Amino acid sequence: MRALYVMDPPASLDVAGDSTYALMVEAARRGHSTAWCHPSDLRVVGNQPAARVQEARALTAAPWFELGDVAQVPLGSFDAIWMRKDPPFDMDYVFSTYILDLAERAGAKVFNDPVSLKAANEKMYALQWPELSPPTWVTNSVEEVVALAREHGRVVIKPWDGNGGRGVLVTHGQDRNLRSMAELLTGEGRVSILVQPFLEAIRDGDKRIILVDGEPRGWFLRVPGPQDHRGNMHVGATVQGCDLDERDRAICGALEGRLRAEGLLFVGIDVIGGLLTEINVTSPTGLREIQTLMGRDLAAELQDAAAKKLAAR
């Protein structure tokens, strides 16, 4: 297989915990030809999608990558393209999916499907299953945010396009900073945000479940540290093993058909207290943690699933 990884620069990766690196190591083990490019390297040349790419073979020891020359090549020359650029999901990210749409027409298979990347916003997509999600309001009104906090007590307010816990704030109706927070996050009423009741179950952890072609394959808990309410590892959350309960399996079962039909091969969902809070499709993480905690090689399972999709075309 010849594969391209659209990603952040290899030198910027923390290989100890990076899922894209894990995928590329498995590709190298299988003898795949691999290259990387940044989304800014994508282009159209004479109506055909192309990119300036660099051959990149992942290694299991420092310097971690063996890099070749940079060359401009048609995207249709690749069998598989993995869109692995970390968020934010901004207009630059959206624009890159337009070129990846063309790559699919040129014969490459893109994981995850670029049409679905545009449609499945990580916070808003979960609301398509309202029976699985916590009560949620989406508004750009400062007054409505204040009123909701006064009605529901402790609440979480967060950007619709955030990632990694960025901009996630916990407040309450009597917080003298509440109005200022709402003004800041909504840009004085110009930008919509999400408002949800604070889920006390976050103290027990935010459960990350990795789904491969719609099936749950690995999971772990991210437990917030004493100095932060967020279940994100880079702000101090610790990773612990856990089991899937009946509710978790019901959530995964409800999502399976849609994820598979929409070409979302690699997905990470977040569950807090039995409620679906996010469906991560842009650049899910957790492969290395699952390998450590469960002994399960999801990088290999994802490469198997990709090969199966290619064989079925």
List 278, 288, 289, 301, catalytic entry: 278
Residue 142: predicted pLDDT:
97
Give me the mean pLDDT over the 6-23 stretch: 96
* 154 and 229 both lie in a single domain: no
For residues 90 and 52, the model is more confident at 52
Please count the other Cβ atoms lying within 10 Å of the Cβ belonging to residue 258. Answer: 16
Nearest partner of 7 among 18, 25, 20, 16, judged by Cα: 20
| Residue 162, pLDDT above cutoff 90 | no
Residue 232: predicted pLDDT:
60
Residue 163 among the catalytic residues:
no
Give the pLDDT confidence of 275-296 residue by residue, as tens digits: 999 999 999 999 999 999 999 9
Residue 167: predicted pLDDT:
84
* 159 and 247 both lie in a single domain: no
Nearest partner of 99 among 55, 43, 59, judged by Cα: 43
* 147 and 182 both lie in a single domain: yes
List 270, 288, 289, 301, catalytic entry: 270
Residue 304 lies in a domain: no
List 230, 248, 288, 301, catalytic entry: 230
* 36 and 98 both lie in a single domain: yes
Residue 55 among the catalytic residues:
no
Residue 208 among the catalytic residues:
yes
The half-sphere exposure of 47 on its side-chain side, counting CA atoms within 13 A, is 1
CA distance linking residue 276 with residue 278, whole number of Å: 6
Residue 286 lies in a domain: no
* 184 and 208 both lie in a single domain: no
CA distance linking residue 2 with residue 277, whole number of Å: 35
Q: Parallel, antiparallel, or unpaired for β 2-6 and 42-45? A: unpaired
Residue 130 lies in a domain: no
- The answer to whether the CB of 80 falls within 8 A of the CB of 306 is yes
Give the pLDDT confidence of 219-278 residue by residue, as tens digits: 999 998 766 666 565 555 799 999 999 999 999 999 999 999 999 999 999 999 999 999
* 265 and 178 both lie in a single domain: no
Residue 118 among the catalytic residues:
no
Residue 269: predicted pLDDT:
98
Give me the mean pLDDT over the 114-131 stretch: 95
* 44 and 17 both lie in a single domain: yes
In this structure, what are the phi and psi dihedrals at residue 79, rounded to the nearest 5 degrees?
A: -75, -45
Residue 128 lies in a domain: no
pTM of the model: 0.94
* 162 and 218 both lie in a single domain: no
CA distance linking residue 116 with residue 214, whole number of Å: 14
* 218 and 256 both lie in a single domain: yes
List 158, 207, 217, 288, catalytic entry: 158
Residue 150 among the catalytic residues:
no
| Secondary structure percentages of the chain, helix, strand, coil, to 5 | 35, 30, 35
Which domain-ending residue is among 198, 219, 248?
198
Residue 294: predicted pLDDT:
97
Per the structure block, which two tokens stand in for 17?
């915990």
Q: Which domain holds residue 262?
A: 201-280
List 84, 109, 123, 288, catalytic entry: 123
Residue 127: predicted pLDDT:
96
The single-letter DSSP state of residue 225 is: P
Amino acid at 69: D
* 218 and 167 both lie in a single domain: no
Residue 1: predicted pLDDT:
94
Q: Give the DSSP per-residue string, 149-178.
A: HHHHSSEEEEETT--TTTT-EEE-TT-TTH
CA distance linking residue 82 with residue 117, whole number of Å: 12
Residue 123 among the catalytic residues:
yes
194: domain CATH number is 3.30.1490.20
Residue 222 among the catalytic residues:
yes
Give the pLDDT confidence of 170-199 residue by residue, as tens digits: 999 999 999 999 999 999 999 999 999 999
Give the pLDDT confidence of 197-212 residue by residue, as tens digits: 999 999 999 999 999 9
Nearest partner of 242 among 267, 276, 200, 209, judged by Cα: 209
- The answer to whether the CB of 5 falls within 8 A of the CB of 36 is yes
The single-letter DSSP state of residue 237 is: P
Per the structure block, which two tokens stand in for 24?
């590329």
3-state secondary structure of 230: coil
* 174 and 238 both lie in a single domain: no
Residue 175 among the catalytic residues:
no
CA distance linking residue 264 with residue 305, whole number of Å: 11
Distances (CA, A) of 43 to 21, 38, 52, 73, 129: 24, 11, 8, 10, 36
Q: 183: exposed, middle or buried (C-beta count within 10 Å: 0-12, 13-18, 19+)?
A: middle
List 85, 208, 217, 288, catalytic entry: 208
Give the pLDDT confidence of 84-111 residue by residue, as tens digits: 999 888 899 999 999 999 999 999 999 9
List 217, 280, 288, 301, catalytic entry: 280
Give me the mean pLDDT over the 144-162 stretch: 94
**How many domains in the chain?**
3
Which domain-ending residue is among 198, 219, 251?
198
List 85, 217, 222, 288, catalytic entry: 222
CA distance linking residue 18 with residue 8, whole number of Å: 11
The half-sphere exposure of 120 on its side-chain side, counting CA atoms within 13 A, is 28
